[in-house]
Structure 1
C-alpha cells in the first residue's frame, strides 16, 4: 500500500489464515447472519401482530431484538465481503462510523436491559401501581433514551477523533472497535476521561441498576412466593450476564498489548458478534411462555402450508 493509501485505509489484521479458510469462514458467518435475521424478525413479527403481546415487557424485548439486527448489519456484510477479498482493508472514515454504530448499539443494549429490569421491578414489587407507572409515554421515553443517549455520547468521541493523527495502520481485529485507539500517535487525556465517563454512564451504572432491581425482585419473591412472576426475569438475567462478559472482554482485554494469541482474539471476537444476536431470540422464544405459544402456532401453520 502506498503512503497516500495508508492515510486513508486501515488493514484489518485480526483474521486467522483467511486465505486458507475463506470459504469456510464465509459459509459459517453467512449462515449465522441469516439465522440472526430470521430468528430476530420472527419474534419481532409475533410481538407486532399479536395484541396480547403489546405490553411493555414484550415491547422492550422487540426493541432489544431490533437492536441486535442493527448491530449485526453493522458488522456482518463488511466481514463477509472481507472473507472473499484478497485484502482485508477499511477506510478510516467507514471505520469510525462502524465504531460509532458498534458502541452506540452496545450501550443501548445495556439501557434496554435496564428498562426491562425496571419493568419487571414495577410489575413484581409494585403490581398495583404498574398501569400508572408503565404507561405508553413511559415506554416510549425509555426506548428513545436507550437509543439516543448512547448515540449522542459516542458521537462526541468519534467527532473528536476524526482529525486525530495515525501512526499505525493495522488493526488487531476483524472489524473496527476500541482497538482503534492503539493506532493514534497521541491520545488526549481529556478524551480518555470522557470515554471512561461514557462507559460508566451507559455501561456500569445501568448494570448496577439492574443488579439493584433484581435484588429487590428476589427479596420480594422470597417474601411473597411469586415464583411464576420471577421466571420472567430469568431470560433477562441470562442475557445480561452473557453480554456483560463479552463486552468486558472487548473493553478491557482487547485494548491490552499482551501475548493474548491472535487465534484466541479471533474466536472471542466472533462470539461477541454472534452469541447475543443469535441466541437472544431463541432464549426469549423458548423461555417467555406467551411468545413461545405464538411461535409454536406460527411453526405449525408453516408446516400445514
Structure 2
C-alpha cells in the first residue's frame, strides 16, 4: 500500500475515533465498553502519547490514540487504541505495542489496555501477543485484536447496525475491494451512503458520516459528479433533503468556513457554560484556528477537561 493510500485510510479513522470514541468501544470491544463509567467522561492524551513514542524511538504514529477513562469500580485506567494499516510494520508490530504498553504504564502507573484494530488486507496476519524467556525469566504480553476483514461475511448485520463504526467498516472494506475499479466503488459508495438514511441517524450524524465515507471512498472527478447527482435524486425521492448540494460540494472539497465557525462557537459555548467567562485572549486563540480536526479535538477537551486552566494548557503554543 502506498503512503498516499495509507493516509487516505488513516485520517478518517483517526477523526472517527475522536468523534465517536464510545461508539468505537461499543462496536469493537463491548466488554471493555461495559466496564467504563461513561458518565465521568474521557480524556485524549495525544500530546503525552507522542512524547512517549518519541522517547521510545519508534516513530510518530498518526492513528494510535491514548485515552484516559474511569472504570465503574471508580478506578482510573488507560486505553491505547492502535489501528494498523501499513504493511511494513508487520515484522516488529507485536514488539512495538508491547513497548508502548510498558512505557505508558511506567509513566502513569495505571492499568493500560492495548486494543488493536487490524485494517490491513492480509487475512493470515493476526498478531495477538509478544513474549520471550531466558532461563527462568519470562515475559508474556497478550492483547485483543480485531481484524476488519472478518466483517466481510457480516455485511447484512453491518447494514442493520446503527453504530457509526458499522458504516466505517463498510466503507473501508469496499474501498479495499475496489482498488483500480472506480465504477464498482461508485456503486458501493452509493449503497453505503444511502444506508445512512435508513439507520435513523440525526441530520448531524448523517452529515458527519457522509463526510467520513466521502473521505475514505474517493472517486475520480467525473464519477464523483455522478455520485452527487444520484444522491440528490435519492434524497428527493425519499423526501430526505439532509445534504444540500452546497453541503455536498463542501464535504467533497473539505470543511467549509461555516463548519469551522460553528466548531469554534461550540467550544466557546461549552467553556462559558462550564467555567464562566472566557478570557478574550483565549477566545482569540480559538477563533484563529483553521484546522478542523484540531478544533474537534479541542471540542472534546472542552467537555472533558476539569478546568479552564487545563484547557488553556492543552492548546498548542502556536495556536
- Which structure has more relative contact order (CA 8 Å, sep 6+)? It is 1
Tell me which protein shows more helix as a share of its residues. Answer: 1
- TM-score normalized by the length of structure 2: 0.23
